[in-house]
Amino acid sequence: MAGNQASAGHLLRLIRSGAATTRGELQEATGLSRSTVGHRLDQLFHAGWLRGATGTSTGGRPSARLEFDPDHAAVLVADLETRHGRAAVVDLAGRVLAEHTGDLVITDGPDAVLDRVARWFGPLLSRAGIGAERVCGVGLSVPGPVDWDRAELVQPPIMPGWDGYPLRERFRAAYAEHVGGPPEAGPLPVLVENDANAMALGEQRTHHPDCRAFVFIKASTGIGAGVVIGGEVYRGIDGGAGDIGHIRLHDRPDVVCMCGSHGCLAAVASGRAIAGQLTEAGVRTASGSDVRAHLAAGQPDAVGFTRDAGRRVGEVLVTVVTLLNPGVLVLGGDLASTPFLTGVRELLYQRAMPRSTAHLQVLTSELGDRAGLIGAAHMVVDHLYAPDRADARLAALARTGHPAHVDR
């Protein structure tokens, strides 16, 4: 490693990943001199990003182990659903410090929804004992396809009025109105991610960090997949990767999807679809969250329809598993239940080649409703502390004396 590959930001990456956690290991990994490593580390300690810990002794004096300090700043995150939302203050290790769940209607449009979410953050910061000056970024998880670089939704089927809307700028304005923040820090970084991607990242980082190929299926009002390869979310060219809810089933051309197409998986096997089936069967059900309540109560029709939905999703997942060969497939969302899991496994193991499933675990989410929040927090931290961006933030701190935000 040479040149800018051994900057302070790159040393931080080695420490955060666990690849090198002592001064000696950093010297060996980078080829830098002891004094240069010391200078780089001084920058990181001055910013408050590192803390020391005693390492394991091998017979002599214990080495001083270096750790990323998750308490020096905090992240604000929100996970938007169709009829409610969650918001939280999260530390840089993904630990939730304060959390709120409230009603919102995604079809009310971005102005109303973003203003409501921004109002939640002031009280949450107070409950967490975190000042606004310690907020380093915001992550928003939304139920639609996202162009990640532009932080904009792209033709979201269940979010009228959100297509191409400037989420980053509008949320900053709402946040400044309701929470404020030090003007010298500059524009607050705001990142936007598809909900299935955020949930995938949260689940993978928390419970399956060693899984090199990981797939998360969110089955709620709609159906989507998040894919994490080598620890990074795979988004495709413009954020469309994983939109399996709009794969068409050949035998259901009679069903019209909200996107306008016929036979989409989401129109047949989502929480919205099951709610319609239950209502037709005389069990009044308005949404995927109502289906979830019926499942918790053991309602027989809900159990049967959900298992059937799992089979239909399993049909599509045969192709997904064959293409990606993941080690872990996690099911989350309102439908993530024993009947749904059973249906998915039934079709998947029946139709996929044994080679594709020999080392595959099919599980339900352990993080549950927090998966999107925690994933959004990891997304923000990964972005802000990536080597080049970390170096830019350190340079701004050296120039101004303020931990300035570095805009996207």
- Structural contact between residues 333 and 101, judged by C-beta atoms closer than 8 angstroms: no
pTM of the model: 0.93
CB distance 33 to 45 below 8 Å: no
- Determine how β-strand 135-142 pairs with β-strand 74-80: parallel
Comparing CA positions, the residue from 336, 395, 390 lying closest to residue 362 is 336
Cβ atoms of 88 and 150 within 8 Å: the answer is: no
Contact status, residue 256 vs residue 264, Cβ threshold 8 Å: no
DSSP state of 188: P
DSSP-derived secondary structure for 314-375? HHHHHHHHHHH--SEEEEESTT-SHHHHHHHHHHHHHHS-HHHHTT-EEEE-SSGGGHHHHH
Contact partners, residue 338, CB within 8 Å, separation at least 6? none
Q: List the structure tokens of 8.
A: 């302070």
| CA distance linking residue 272 with residue 291, whole number of Å | 9
Radius of gyration of the chain (CA): 23
The structure tokens listed for 232 are: 């990074």
Q: What is the pLDDT, as a whole number, of residue 259?
A: 87
Among residues 230, 271, 268, 278, which one has the least CA distance to residue 246?
268
- Distance between CA 329 and CA 225 in Å, rounded? 10
Tell me the pLDDT band of 264, cut-offs 50, 70 and 90. very high
Q: For residue range 304-320, what is the model confidence (pLDDT) as tens digits?
A: 999 999 999 999 999 99
User: Is the pLDDT score of 185 beyond 80?
Assistant: no
Helix (H) or strand (E) holding 384: helix 371-384
Backbone φ and ψ for 365, nearest 5 degrees, come out as -60, 135
Task: Report whether 360 contacts 74 (CB < 8 A).
Answer: no
Mean pLDDT within 59-83 = 86
Predicted pLDDT of residue 303: 97
How confident is residue 187, by pLDDT bands cut at 50, 70 and 90? confident
Q: List pLDDT tens digits, range 333-363.
A: 999 999 999 999 999 999 999 999 999 999 9
Q: What is the pLDDT of residue 64?
A: 85
Residue 390: per-residue pLDDT: 96
Domains and CATH numbers, the chain: 3-68 (1.10.10.10), 74-196+376-384 (3.30.420.40), 207-370 (3.30.420.40)
> Which two structure tokens, joined as six digits, stand for 312?
């239909």
Cβ proximity of 327 and 366 under 8 Å: no
End-to-end CA distance of the chain: 27
* The pair of three-digit structure tokens given for residue 377, joined into one six-digit string: 């927090």
Give the three-state DSSP class for 19: coil
pLDDT band of residue 194 (cuts 50, 70, 90) is very high
Residue 164 to residue 152: CA distance in whole angstroms: 5
Tell me what pLDDT residue 24 has. Answer: 95
Q: Distance between CA atoms of 211 and 208, rounded to whole angstroms? A: 6
Q: What is the dihedral of CA 268, 259, 158, 307, to 10 degrees?
A: 10
Per residue in 98-127, pLDDT tens? 999 999 999 999 999 999 999 999 999 999
